[in-house]
Amino acid sequence: MGDTLKTPESSCSYIVGEDGLSRWSEMHADAWVGLLETTKRLTRDLDAELESAHGIGLSGLELLGRLASAPERRLQLSVLAGEANLSLSRVSRVVDSFERRGLVERRQCPRDARSVEAQLTEAGLTLAREAQATHFASVQRRFFAELDPDEIATLAVVFARFAPRAASSCDADRSAVV
């Protein structure tokens, strides 16, 4: 027998079959699975390109961008982790690798002796600028060039509903946005 709808709403995005398994409607599957697969593919490709060209991934680029746009180019590691939505241990590992490369220096926080800050060096700022140029050009080529202006506007409206002010939370001039 065919799938039966197990919900009173006829516009439900999924159906539950007689086997008890849920399935998206074709349109909803195209939207949801398409979003997930596009995100995975783009993230994987952008990450690999940054790693190959600059020796950093997307997380590293975001951390460099946030440090570059921070006052005095420094932030407490805990603040950096919170802003980037990464664990403190992940941020600490990335900052360790940046420190070995001379991109950041760890410093005692002058306002809280128990806290540590990451201070971006000139070499770190140079790398941030170079990696951002690579990244922005790649996002343009791999994503925005595939869409027309109306589609971009629609995506901006849709995603603003799920993540209000997400882009503006990175920095006023959007330099930290990955």
Name the residue range of residue 123's domain: 46-162
Phi, psi of 57, rounded to the nearest 5 degrees: -105, -170
Average confidence score pLDDT of the chain: 88
Is 40 within the bounds of a domain? Answer: no
pLDDT at 52 > cutoff 50: yes
pLDDT tens-digit map of 92-127: 999 999 999 999 999 988 887 788 999 999 999 999
**So what's the pLDDT on residue 110?**
80
Res 25 pLDDT > 50: yes
Question: Do the domain assignments include residue 7?
Answer: no
| Long-range contact set of residues 114-118: C-beta below 8 Å, sequence gap at least 24 | 115/76, 115/77, 115/78, 116/76, 116/77, 117/74, 117/75, 117/76, 117/77, 118/63, 118/67, 118/74, 118/75, 118/77, 118/80
Band the pLDDT of 172: cuts 50, 70, 90.
Answer: very low
CATH of the domain at 129: 1.10.10.10
Q: Report which DSSP code applies to 113.
A: E
> Would you say residue 168 lies in a domain?
no
What pLDDT shows up at residue 165?
73
Burial status of residue 129 (CB atoms within 10 A of its CB: 0-12, 13-18, 19 or more): middle
Tell me the whole-structure pTM to 2 decimals.
0.81
**pLDDT greater than 60 at residue 8:** no
Q: What does the pLDDT read at residue 76? A: 93
- Is 176 part of a structural domain of the chain? no
Question: Is 14 part of any domain?
Answer: no
Taking 50 as the threshold, does the pLDDT of residue 174 lie above it? no
Q: Count the domains in the chain.
A: 1
